A and B are shown apart, each in its own frame.
Chain A
Amino acid sequence: MIVRYVRLLWIFLRTEMQYELEYRTNLALDIVQSLVIMGTSVGAVLVLFSYTTVLNGWDLGAMLVLLGCFYLVQGFSEFVLAPSFEKFMEHVRMGTLDFALLKPASPQFLVTLRQFRVTELTQFVLGAVIVVVALSRMSGVGVYQGVGFAVALLCGFTLVYALLLALSTFAFWFVRVDNLMAIYWSFLDAGRFPVDIYPGWLRLTLSTAVPIGIAVTVPAQAISGRLDPFGLGLLVIGTVAAFVVASWFWRLGLRSYTGASA
């Protein structure tokens, strides 16, 4: 069962890759753009750290790890989630969701992990590079921290997935929900700094309703050894809950879907 889904995923990804490689100049330009965006973001952090060595308990190394995590999460959501959910909303609008529903696989899988924007992989890869480079400046990163990081990052991805799934489900009732998605995109920028520097109302928003703060900050905490097993456990439970609720909400919405002119 899982093997079948992984194979499907691979097929989707491969066709998308072939398509994208037809536009090579575009691809090269996108890579250059990502490099510029990363470079300037690192530059902004360096400007802040030219005035201090510690920012709310985060030193430069930890801060760069966090920035890397920010681009891992953002890269992931722009690589697969954003294109898939945009397509999903278009399907609802055009009444073409039927085609996905009739196929012999989980509709949620077929709809939410179907489209890929291969060029966004550069963001993801560069985010990983920043994490690795920053880690080389830090000491005391062991297996335990590594595992914690991997688990926390996976939770981060899932939290963002659940949020976007829940937001886009509203399309079943309201059809045009690009605006709701803009909530996610406007708050996303806040992920570039640790969530603990923000004032109460913003921290709360970034930890619950729009959990980008959690998705980025907790993996960075995990790898710099500042996350206890209790915090990690809490994150896993919260993530599973978010995923289950969002999926339930999606199925609820799906029930009120009617094809075009039905």
Chain B
Amino acid sequence: MIRTYRALLIAQIQAASQYRVQSILWMLFSVMRPVIFLAAWVAVANAQGGQIGAYDTRDFAGYYVALALVTNLAFSWNAYDFEFEIRMGRLSPKLLRPLHPIHYAVVDNLVWKATTMIPLLLILAVVIVTFDARFRTTPAHILLFVPSVLLAGALTFLGGWFLATTAFWTTRVHAVSTLWDRAVFIFAGQIAPLALLPGVLKTISLALPFGYMLGVPTEILRGGVDVPTALVLIGGQAFWVVVFYIAFLRLWRVGVRQYSAVGA
């Protein structure tokens, strides 16, 4: 398995190195939304004397810088490709290979994250200076951040694949993934830190998987929650990863059995 992964990684890095400019431009997508909402919250905080709840303007900056980093590290967009592969019949040859198609997606993501990391950090450095970001991170937070961001990555990845697998039946998952994206938009910590979501929205974000995808690792990286709370939140992440892992395996097994290439 390790050898397989090494071969895949090398092939993917070679492929990615042909598209250097592309990867830098696409990284803008991870950065823009956090910066936009950062600017909005800074404006709100300034209108209210510089403080909203436990956040002042510098905390917002810390939060959204961490969010951009987490978005880049944890997010994956493969669900869109999968629908396309099914519709174009490109899935069929992959199914015949001795490796589960999901591994190609894993490698794809790893390489993309590695290649975009340096330009991303440069841009985030600019944002940190512009907004004078403050981090309350302690060494314990960094230790906890590692499992938290890994779980978040696994969660968004499996969640995306769970949705994508429904394309075995519908061949179009665009509508479903839009719903999913917008739930992430509201509940995952993009439009506001989870702690600032009003009443019921905050409850929903932590009762459903969405808050654990971005908001939780972001707060841990920023040092916005204490260690016991962080541990509970990581527990929540682990729970949802297990749920989606089982659900995905089940759905895949049923789906692939009744899959027939489009046009067959």
Pair B39/A198 contact, Cβ less than 8 Å: yes
> Which residues of the other chain, A, contact B197 by a CB distance below 8 angstroms?
47
Pair A44/B43 contact, Cβ less than 8 Å: no
Query: How many angstroms from the CA of A51 to the CA of B22 in the assembled complex?
Result: 39
Q: How far is the CB of A252 from chain B (nearest CB, A)?
A: 23
Size of B's binding interface in residues, CB under 8 A: 38
Q: B33, B43, B198: which contacts A55 (Cβ < 8 A)?
A: B43
> Which residues of the other chain, B, contact A202 by a CB distance below 8 angstroms?
35, 39
Query: How many angstroms from the CA of A55 to the CA of B47 in the assembled complex?
Result: 6
Given the known interface contacts A47-B201, A201-B130, the answer about A54 and B47 at a Cβ–Cβ threshold of 8 Å is yes
A197 within 8 A of B: yes
Pair B36/A190 contact, Cβ less than 8 Å: yes
- Chain A residues numbered 1-56 whose CB sits less than 8 Å from any CB in chain B: 26, 29-30, 32-33, 36-37, 40, 43-44, 47-48, 50-56
Pair A186/B32 contact, Cβ less than 8 Å: yes
> Which residues of the other chain, A, contact B172 by a CB distance below 8 angstroms?
26
B26 within 8 A of A: yes
Given the known interface contacts A33-B175, A40-B186, the answer about A192 and B36 at a Cβ–Cβ threshold of 8 Å is yes
Pair A44/B185 contact, Cβ less than 8 Å: yes
Give how many A-B residue pairs fall within 8 Å (CB-CB).
94
* Chain A binding surface, main DSSP class: helix
> Which residues of the other chain, B, contact A197 by a CB distance below 8 angstroms?
39-40, 42-43
Q: A26, A37, A182: which contacts B28 (Cβ < 8 A)?
A: A182
Given the known interface contacts A182-B25, A183-B25, A201-B130, the answer about A48 and B44 at a Cβ–Cβ threshold of 8 Å is yes
Pair B47/A179 contact, Cβ less than 8 Å: no
Among A26, A55, A186, chain B packs the most CB atoms within 10 A around the CB of A186
> Which residues of the other chain, A, contact B198 by a CB distance below 8 angstroms?
47, 50
Query: How many angstroms from the CA of A3 to the CA of B153 in the assembled complex?
Result: 56
Among B35, B182, B192, chain A packs the most CB atoms within 10 A around the CB of B182
> Which residues of the other chain, A, contact B196 by a CB distance below 8 angstroms?
47, 51
Given the known interface contacts A36-B182, A37-B178, the answer about A47 and B191 at a Cβ–Cβ threshold of 8 Å is yes
Q: How far is the CB of B60 from chain A (nearest CB, A)?
A: 12
> Which residues of the other chain, B, contact A44 by a CB distance below 8 angstroms?
37, 185-186, 191-192
A140 within 8 A of B: no
Pair B43/A37 contact, Cβ less than 8 Å: no
Q: How far is the CB of A125 from chain B (nearest CB, A)?
A: 18
Q: B22, B179, B201: which contacts A36 (Cβ < 8 A)?
A: B179
B29 within 8 A of A: yes
Q: How far is the CB of B169 from chain A (nearest CB, A)?
A: 14
Q: A26, A52, A187: which contacts B47 (Cβ < 8 A)?
A: A52
Q: B48, B131, B174, B175: which contacts A199 (Cβ < 8 A)?
A: B131
> Which residues of the other chain, B, contact A190 by a CB distance below 8 angstroms?
32, 35-36
Pair A47/B175 contact, Cβ less than 8 Å: no
Pair A33/B178 contact, Cβ less than 8 Å: yes
Pair B182/A37 contact, Cβ less than 8 Å: yes
A189 within 8 A of B: yes
Pair B178/A36 contact, Cβ less than 8 Å: yes
Q: Which residues of B contact A (CB under 8 A)?
A: 21-22, 25-26, 28-29, 32-33, 35-37, 39-44, 46-48, 52, 126, 130-131, 172, 174-175, 178-179, 182, 185-186, 191-192, 196-198, 201
**8 A-B pairs with the lowest CB-CB distances in the bound complex, closest first:** A186-B28, A44-B191, A29-B175, A40-B182, A56-B43, A197-B43, A33-B178, A52-B47
Please name 29 pairs of A and B residues whose Cβ atoms are closer than 8 Å in the assembled complex, sorted by A. Answer: A26-B172, A29-B175, A33-B174, A33-B175, A33-B179, A37-B182, A40-B185, A43-B186, A43-B191, A44-B37, A47-B191, A47-B196, A47-B197, A51-B52, A51-B196, A52-B44, A52-B47, A53-B47, A179-B25, A183-B25, A183-B28, A185-B29, A186-B25, A186-B26, A186-B29, A193-B36, A197-B39, A199-B39, A202-B39
